[in-house]
Structure 1
Amino acid sequence: MSFDCDRSLLFVPPSTQDHIKGVLNAIVVLVMYGDYQCQESADVYRLIKVIGRQLNVSLGENYLCFLFRHFPQIQIHSHDQRAAEAAAVQGQFWPMHEMLFSHQQELGNGYLVESANNLGLDISQFLQDISKKVYIDRINEDIQSGLYSGVTATPALFINGIRYSVGVAQPRHRWTVEQIMAAIVAAND
């Protein structure tokens, strides 16, 4: 695990405007910039879920707070981000978030509508919000905050405001549970 030397700090601090699992005053706050069609973003999110469950059991629910911020290749993956935000307005961000990461290869409009329907969303409102690009400003704010923090690719992780990256010696630069856990523990030292 290493620090990203260039722009290693989170420019926009976590707030209640973010998508949050946990409490902002947790001992460790982990911010992930991700793209729903980035396989590594999905893989890292799955690792963070496992770590979150482990830490909740061993150290309590207020130890880790997880925040997700959008950082899509907007010219390619814009619909997925808007679907997550449209679901958020109806109180279903995290379930839609899970579906988008779980079904990365099936994210056409038909799947998004089916997912929204499975979540019990108002489909008419959902489709209107996506087509009118109602949440594009919210997504663009996440992208801008990532750019200000030096994010150029996903996934990007900040733990207690400091950027962490996989060392170049790692095969294919993949994160592991051990690496992320070590970074979380180190952030609390």
Structure 2
Amino acid sequence: MSLKPSVNKNDHIQGNANAELVIVEYGDYQCPYCGAAYPVLKELMDEFGNQVQFVFRNFPLSEMHQYARPAAIAAEAANLQGKFWEMHDAIYENQQYLNKDLLQEIAEKLNLNINQFKNDIESSELAEKVDSDFESGIISGVNGTPSFFVNGKKFNGGATDLLELVRENVIN
């Protein structure tokens, strides 16, 4: 399966925006497997961030994870204040405590404008962004989280496999 749509200006991009190696993760903030993948992906970006473009798309499995969607919307709200990755990281780093209060606490710790944050998390635009990411995942063949795409092709493996692949290809 291939990635649809391809990476674009609506995506959250980290690393080198001009890198030849593009990794897209479809993730759920409450998914334990995404939580386990998070430190591995951090390591990958610490090692190869200048050679990799990393993209995160929301894929909240709301039926299983009651806080996945509110967390995705909170990250999108933080994005409106220029702090998407800080919120993304803080949610994964505190995943075991995830609830609505935690999202508010993180917003405060990140010094977000709390009134704006509260208004933004209620906005239909952010809900639509999360839904649009989710739908793109469905179209791209995502059937669980985390799901990775490397240069537009579905990668059948976990974050550790991905790190090994990048190490082999970037170092050699």
TM-score (norm 2): 0.89
Q: Is the 8 A contact 2:22 2:54 kept in 1?
A: yes
Question: In structure 1, the residue corresponding to 2:29 is in which secondary structure?
Answer: coil
One-letter identity of the residue aligned with 2:52: L
Shift of 1:110: 1.6
Partner of 2:58: 70
2-structure distance, mates of 1:20, 1:176 = 17
Shift of 1:181: 2.7
Partner of 2:43: 50
Instruction: Say if 1:151 and 1:139 are closer, same or farther in 2 by CA, change over 3 A.
Output: same
Shift of 1:131: 2.6
Q: How many residues matched? A: 168
> For 1:72-110, what per-residue CA distance to the aligned partner results, in whole angstroms no more than 9, with x for missing partners?
013422211110000000011001001111111222222
Q: Which runs of 5+ in 1 are unaligned?
A: 1-7, 167-174
Question: In structure 1, the residue corresponding to 2:108 is in which secondary structure?
Answer: helix
Alignment partner of 1:98 is 2:89 = yes
Quote the RMSD (CA, aligned, Å). Answer: 1.9
Alignment partner of 1:32 is 2:25 = yes
Q: Is the 8 A contact 2:41 2:159 kept in 1?
A: no
1-structure distance, mates of 2:17, 2:169 = 15
TM-score (norm 1): 0.82
2-structure distance, mates of 1:180, 1:26 = 16
Alignment partner of 1:15 is 2:8 = yes
Partner of 2:163: 181
Partner of 1:87: 78
Instruction: Say if 1:68 and 1:147 are closer, same or farther in 2 by CA, change over 3 A.
Output: same
Q: Is the 8 A contact 1:14 1:24 kept in 2?
A: no
Which structure would you say has the larger Rg?
A: 1
Partner of 1:172: none
1-structure distance, mates of 2:77, 2:129 = 11
2-structure distance, mates of 1:44, 1:74 = 19
One-letter identity of the residue aligned with 1:66: F
Q: Which runs of 5+ in 2 are unaligned?
A: none
2-structure distance, mates of 1:94, 1:105 = 19
One-letter identity of the residue aligned with 1:181: L
Partner of 2:136: 145
1-structure distance, mates of 2:2, 2:126 = 26
Partner of 2:108: 117
Q: Is the 8 A contact 2:40 2:163 kept in 1?
A: no
Question: In structure 2, the residue corresponding to 1:46 is in which secondary structure?
Answer: helix
Q: Is the 8 A contact 2:23 2:151 kept in 1?
A: yes
Q: Is the 8 A contact 1:159 1:187 kept in 2?
A: no
